[in-house]
A = this chain, B = another copy of it.
Amino acid sequence: MGGQIVECVPNVSEGRRSEVVDAIADAVRRTEGVRLLNVQSDASHNRSVITFAGPPAAAAEAAFALCARAVALVDMNEHRGEHPRLGAVDVVPFVPIAGVTMEEAVGLALALGARIWEVLRLPVYFYAQAARRPERVRLPDIRRGEYEGLRAKMADPAWAPDVGAATPHPTAGAVVVGARRPLIAYNINLTTADVGVAKKIARAVRESSGGLVGIQAMGVASAGGQAQISMNLLDVATTSMATAFEAVRREAQRLGAEIAESEIVGLVPLDALVDVARASLRLRSFERAQILETHLME
């Protein structure tokens, strides 16, 4: 894969019926020019993160095909899950990887949004770098009220969609489309089942309530029944996985809880892993070029 590469990471509201997840991912597999990189389903969240990459036009085509398939197969009226969501395709972010500017990624998002409304009659919000209004930059703000509160939310002119009618799609709700820098979806499970503890820790570590730069966090229940701090790390150069882990560990300790394990959802840039090794081994002057494979893969 050389030349222009954009990554796309749709989150769909199905994480239990593997044949449905497969069928949705298949829409990506069947699109020429893109490569399906990762499919990760969480039964407790009842949500799957599908990662693919390719040249901009092919990635946009695959994203549309995936949305069409998810709208056909997921009925939000029957959806229950730990993770907040607005619709069958909850969010579709484009991420510039190589030879693509953020402006081009925003252009892909806006064009996809127009096509989704035109063909699928699914109302669209634009977020992150593609947001049309400042109060729609953050995903949690758009998602507040969730699918169940969507009809009432859309009736408020302040929350009319960016494209489409101000009423939810009858089975698919609404979709949030945008462009953003790479992020890491990172979950930490506690040894306790007390979700209240996870919520307190999430509040303490996330940026929006005075925590660490670039951390979005919420407390939920994991698939194994453990309390989970489910995070997005938006700026790993500033707040690494190691820093997030340590912050959660400290807060947990203060509350008499402990970390059981953690989990990276979907893909992670190599540098983020190198940073973890650097921190935990206190590595001096380690360069990425010291990794054998960076040479052999060229």
Q: How many residues of A contact B (CB 8 A)?
A: 47
What chain B residues lie within 8 Å of A255 (beta carbons)? none
- A296–B262 contact, CB under 8 A? no
Any chain B CB within 8 A of the CB of A38?
Answer: yes
- A37–B295 contact, CB under 8 A? yes
In Å, the complex CA distance between A289 and B293 comes to: 13
Closest to A295 in B: B37
In Å, the complex CA distance between A283 and B53 comes to: 25
Identify A284's interface contact among B261, B268, B282, B298, CB under 8 A: B261
> Main SS of chain A's interface residues?
mixed
Query: Scoring A residues 269 to 298 as 1 if CB is less than 8 Å from chain B, else 0, what string do you get?
Result: 110011011011111111001111111111
Given contacts A262-B282, A282-B262, contact A292 B267 (CB under 8 A): yes
In Å, the complex CA distance between A291 and B289 comes to: 16
Given contacts A5-B296, A277-B277, contact A263 B283 (CB under 8 A): yes
Q: Closest CB-CB distance, A260 to chain B, in whole Å?
A: 7
What chain B residues lie within 8 Å of A297 (beta carbons)? 293-294, 297-298
- A293–B270 contact, CB under 8 A? yes
- A268–B291 contact, CB under 8 A? yes
Identify A273's interface contact among B37, B245, B261, B274, CB under 8 A: B274
What chain B residues lie within 8 Å of A268 (beta carbons)? 290-292
What chain B residues lie within 8 Å of A280 (beta carbons)? 242, 245, 276-277, 279-280
Given contacts A295-B1, A295-B53, A296-B1, contact A38 B283 (CB under 8 A): no
In Å, the complex CA distance between A53 and B242 comes to: 33
